Structure 1
Amino acid sequence: MNNVRNPDFIRAFGDNLKKLRAEKKISQEELANSSDIPISQIGRIERGEVNTTISTIYVISKALEIDIKELFDFPIK
């Protein structure tokens, strides 16, 4: 079986999350509190260190008050 983990995609997702969060002027701590996700996990997602779950992505989109598809609106390398 091929390795399905794509580090470039995971990093690009994290970069996009960070950009969207900054545009909303929300700190990592505020996002963590409003999404009930540990701040350390938010940091790991933004740095592309973890391949996060779709459930976590859903909660983050709700906390940021954005459509979930915005989190995936970035160029894929």
Structure 2
Amino acid sequence: MHIIPKSTRHTKAGTFRRGVPYEVDEKAALIKKHVLPHTHGENPVFEKVSATKAKKAAETASAPVSDAEEKANTTDDTPSK
């Protein structure tokens, strides 16, 4: 099952970033307890989507860059001693 969160959620199953598609196993205990209840109702937090829509969303979604990656990609202008 593929889901796209409408807002960032920190759950026991993990952190789900807004607009980033995720493929989850709906039979997993943590997903059943902490994610699936939020896919129903009038205004669900997680939108269930097809695999093709998830793939298309993945191409346009911007994944956050971790601090370690950002530091590795920047150059330090101070001279080394």
Decide: shared fold, TM above 0.5. Answer: no
Structure having the larger proportion of residues in strand: 2
TM value normalised by structure 2: 0.28
Which structure is larger by alpha-carbon Rg, 1 or 2?
2
| TM-score, with length taken from structure 1 | 0.28
The structure whose RCO (Cα within 8 Å, separation 6+) is larger is: 1
